[in-house]
Amino acid sequence: MEFSIINRDNWYRKEYFEHYLQQQTTFSMTNEINITVLMKNLKKKGYKLYPAFIFMVTRIVNSHREFRTCFNSEGNLGYWAEICPCYTIFDNRTHTFSAIWSPNMNNFSEFHFQYEKDVRKYNGTGSLFPKEPIPDNNIPISMIPWSSFKAFNLNINNGGNFLLPIITGGKYSQVNNELFLPVSLQIHHSVCDGYHASVFMNDLQRFANESEDWV
């Protein structure tokens, strides 16, 4: 997958990047996404929420370069031309999970089919990363369907060099006949600001509202 190197000397974010990378500043934003329309459209087709969530997140990340900016394996700063999702699946027998990936697809029905195929093949393996090799151009996505939350934060001790977004969903709740899904976005301040976090959340709500167009 193509990786474009950023020239840090004349990059418009140079000052922000160097400041917040040195400070190792990350932040998270949690929002409740109204999925009432989305759930109705998924139910009509017999589709599941989790792959729809993964699909929407991946589409948003691939629409904004800021969410694809990171260091590659050689330590170069740049951005991937495309990102694929690496998501967790739960093992009911051991109460552990595996992280697997699926290729990025623009057609949801095709992605849903691939998702179910990968889950059937790799669930219950007892391995954290059963599907290898894991592509470098992936983002971590997970869901905690047993509990809702108002905030969520994941701490990574890797020297502050993990720049890609981390997205976590929770258990949806019903309020006045509407369904709301808590979603947490964790990002590195060196490559993304509050504006970009807001863009992500607004895009996610828009995708849910317009789900009839892609489900």
Span 178-214, pLDDT tens digits? 999 999 999 999 999 999 999 999 999 999 999 999 9
Its pTM stands at 0.97
Q: What is the pLDDT of residue 13?
A: 97
Q: What is the pLDDT of residue 159?
A: 63
Q: What is the pLDDT of residue 154?
A: 87
| Mean pLDDT (whole number) for 30-40 | 98
Q: Please confirm, yes or no, whether 64 is among the known catalytic residues.
A: no
Partnered with residue 46 across adjacent β-strands are: none
The single residue listed with the structure tokens 């932040």 is: 27
Q: What is the pLDDT of residue 155?
A: 82
Least confident of 7-16, 105-114, 154-163, 195-204: 154-163
| Mean pLDDT (whole number) for 40-69 | 98
| Mean pLDDT (whole number) for 70-88 | 97
Q: What is the pLDDT of residue 56?
A: 98
CA gap 140, 124 in Å, rounded: 20
CA gap 85, 103 in Å, rounded: 7
**Among 197, 175, 195, 173, residue whose Cα is nearest residue 186:** 197
| Mean pLDDT (whole number) for 15-26 | 95
Q: Which one from 95, 188, 189, 196 is the annotated catalytic residue? A: 189
CA gap 204, 169 in Å, rounded: 12
Checking if the pLDDT of 112 tops 80, the result is: yes
Classify residue 158 by its DSSP letter.
Answer: S
| Mean pLDDT (whole number) for 94-98 | 96
Q: What is the pLDDT of residue 158?
A: 65
Per residue in 143-177, pLDDT (tens digit) is 999 999 999 988 887 667 999 999 999 999 999 99
